Structure 1
Amino acid sequence: MSRLHGKIVKAVRVRDTDLGRVVGESLKRLRELAGLSQSEIATRLKVGQAAISKIEHRGDVQISSLQKYVEALGAELRIEATFTREALKKLRFEGAFDPDLQDDDQFVFPIFGDDLFRPKRDVVLSVRPVYSQKIMAGEKTVELRRRFPISAPSGTVAYIYSTSPVRAMVGSAEIENVYKMPIADIWKKFGSKARITRDDFESYFSGLEAGFALKFKNARAFARPIDLSELRRRFRFEPPQSFLYASPVLRTALEDEYSDVSH
């Protein structure tokens, strides 16, 4: 396995100043490593061989084309941004949210890929007050998202941040499952459990063909909501637009200091 891993790493690390050509050459080497010809890849993608040749030799490749090519190899495309520790210090979310630590001097954040989920991570979800109240009351057992990692493991804890005007962390719930489905199917299966009107549902998912449904269980409200000013002071917290991974320090504080929950 280590020998194969070395071949794969070597295949994608082509040294050249022309990044576009590097990507094309990397794809070619990966294809050859997989034992596939250009015509075989073309058949899988239902395009002409000339299109594959163009991808492997052109100076630039669109992400959509890159994704399809990689999937035809039987792999997933992952694009990540890597920061050194020094660069990370300049980022405003350094304290409250935890990136995926790959080694001692770099941090990696996912940029592309719905299926990415950082191992052993819990999340913070920003939820409008009208819905966060229903989650804490056990009335809303499904939360809807335009994007979310489909591979989030069962039992992942979602800490609920209630947005303006509440602006506070109000409780938590366990994610029992994550579903990615066509929008129409989400409404049929989860519309009532999400406690959302049809108009709001269609407005939220406007422009998308598929969305995500997070099935909750064991929702619990904190005995004392943690307001934004305290979250900022103690954890350098900034509310996420949708979700972010909770850092160990934030997660530990929420577990230890606010474990006395209301039922």
Structure 2
Amino acid sequence: MKKWRDINLVGLTEKIVSMCAVSIGRAGAASRVGHELKRLRIISGLSQAQVAEAMNEECVVISKIEDGGEIYLSTIERYVTALGASLRLNAHFSADAPINARLHDKHFFYEKSGNSQLVFSLMEEEKFEKHRDVVLSIKPIYSEKILSGRKTVELRRRFPVEVPNGIVAYIYSSAPVKAIVGTVLIRGVVKLPVEKIWDEFKHLAFIERHMFDKYFEGVDQGYALFFGDVKSFTRPLPLSELRERFGFEPPQSFLYAKHDLRKALQDEPAIVSY
């Protein structure tokens, strides 16, 4: 089967967003989506039989979809995947929306589009921003073990999987320490079922079972970050100084390090203990 990546969905995403997130019940709306899907299939050079085979469905199901029958968002995603594409579903906010002021303390991935909008991906796996280091917020009980070299795996509910090897993570030790205390290199990230994470990494992550269950409550899968090349700061940078010099606010989970913060840390080698 001929494969295409990231086919232009010709306005399909915007139409889906305006409809019900679970089911497209209005006949007119479903008909428009079915028409767009059919148009994409034809552009892709695929027959209904080929799409049906890729979706493990009968041809009659594909016909109903394209003729405007009731269609679910999950079905649209499967159909688009069968074309060799990916379905992108985003929430768009104006750049001056109230959410903008709240982003500093929320763990959410977003980008700024060319028309001064904030764009949040609702379906795709998070992508790691290239050439960016990160600040990880970690409780002191765990940050101490990381800096001592004992804790080599950090667990997260959400994190980009495709992290380039060797990305620097600045360790922000949360209350009561409230300071950036050192750095580690992120050697890799894996996404696994929560129970598999417990079985494989409970000792390396230094976490007790009840705390593990509480942290991952409500999710089926989690992320394990592998650390290496630990460096402790001889002079931790306290939150008060970080706020004054860089406008820094500690994240709940992680954030991308601003350029001026990264440059300051790189230009002040005296604070790093080798």
TM-score, length-scaled by structure 2: 0.74
- Corresponding position: 1:143 with 2:154: yes
Q: Is the 8 A contact 2:7 2:85 kept in 1?
A: no
Give the AA of the match of 1:151. Answer: E
Q: Count matched residues.
A: 255
**Structure 1 residues 252-261 or 214-223, which shifts more?**
252-261
- Partner residue of 1:43? 53
Give the AA of the match of 1:213. Answer: A
Alignment partner of 1:68 out of 78, 81, 98: 78
Q: Is the 8 A contact 2:109 2:120 kept in 1?
A: no
The structure number with the bigger radius of gyration is 2
Alignment partner of 2:195 out of 163, 181, 184: 184
- Partner residue of 1:118? 129
Give the AA of the match of 2:229. Answer: N
Q: Deviations over 1:8-52 (max 9, x none)?
A: 44x524799884456655444333322233443343333455655
The separation in 2 between residues aligned to 1:76 and 1:114, in whole angstroms, is: 11
Query: SS of the residue aligned with 1:12?
Result: coil
The separation in 1 between residues aligned to 2:178 and 2:87, in whole angstroms, is: 36
The offset of 1:132, in angstroms, is 1.1
- Partner residue of 1:30? 40
- Partner residue of 1:12? 10
Percent of aligned pairs with the same amino acid = 46
The separation in 1 between residues aligned to 2:192 and 2:109, in whole angstroms, is: 28
The separation in 2 between residues aligned to 1:89 and 1:197, in whole angstroms, is: 35
Unaligned runs of 5+ in 1: none
Alignment partner of 1:168 out of 156, 161, 179: 179
The separation in 1 between residues aligned to 2:14 and 2:227, in whole angstroms, is: 48
Unaligned runs of 5+ in 2: 20-28
Q: Is the 8 A contact 1:93 1:237 kept in 2?
A: no
Over 3 Å counting, the alpha-carbon distance change for 1:192 and 1:17 in structure 2 is: closer
Q: Is the 8 A contact 2:181 2:232 kept in 1?
A: yes
- Partner residue of 2:145? 134
Give the AA of the match of 2:265. Answer: L
Alignment partner of 1:207 out of 198, 218, 226: 218
TM-score, length-scaled by structure 1: 0.77
The offset of 1:262, in angstroms, is 2.1
Q: Deviations over 1:211-233 (max 9, x none)?
A: 11100001112222222222222
